[in-house]
Amino acid sequence: MLWTEFTALLLLATAMSFTPGPNTALATAMAANAGLRHSLRFVLAVPVGWCLLLLLCSVGVGALVAQVPALRWGIQLGGAALQFVNIKAWFLALTIIAGWVAGQPNMGLRLGIVVPVMVFFAFSSNLTYACLGAVLRHWLAQGQRLLWFNRGMAL
């Protein structure tokens, strides 16, 4: 992979991982409600689920989902893990596979570069948001702040 391609991957990973989404919202809310330690299992699980989604896209599952409306509805209506109902995660996985892996002569090597980068960013972004929630925890404990915070996060 060329350095320019790798740099573009890092920029996309940063932008997509650190912008708010379902995972970061949950990491923040969990840490705000129960503390950083309580949210760490979730923070560690996100990269695992995301990695599985990325690997599924690399073998063509993403293209199949994009072409079959019934499968798209299935993803929107539920799933076994948050990653598979997270449209932001699907968008990112499909973009990365299409832009950096698919159709390249060294797909396995490229996937071997992309996966650890994305695991790092998925973990880092969710840990950052969980730390933010943990920092807010004591402030939220006063009055009805936590109630309003949880309602806002649910929206």
Half-sphere exposure of 144 (CA within 13 A, CB side): 3
| pLDDT bucket at 17, cuts 50 / 70 / 90 | confident
Return the residue matching tokens 């949880």: 150
pTM recorded for the entire structure:
0.70
Burial of 138 (0-12, 13-18, 19+ CB in 10 A): exposed
pLDDT in tens, 50-106: 888 888 888 887 778 778 877 766 666 574 445 556 778 787 888 888 888 888 889
* CA–CA gap between residue 22 and residue 20 (Å, rounded): 7
For 77, how many CA atoms within 13 A lie in the half-sphere containing its CB?
Answer: 6
Average of per-residue pLDDT across 36-42: 90
Do 151 and 30 form a contact (C-beta atoms < 8 A)? Answer: no
**Reported confidence tier of residue 29, pLDDT bands at 50, 70, 90:** confident
CB distance 31 to 137 below 8 Å: yes
- Give yes or no for residue 153 having a pLDDT over 50: yes
Q: Which residues contact 114 (CB under 8 A, 6 or more apart)?
A: 9, 54, 96, 100, 101
| Residue 83 confidence (pLDDT) | 57
pLDDT at 84: 58
What tokens were used for 137?
């925890």
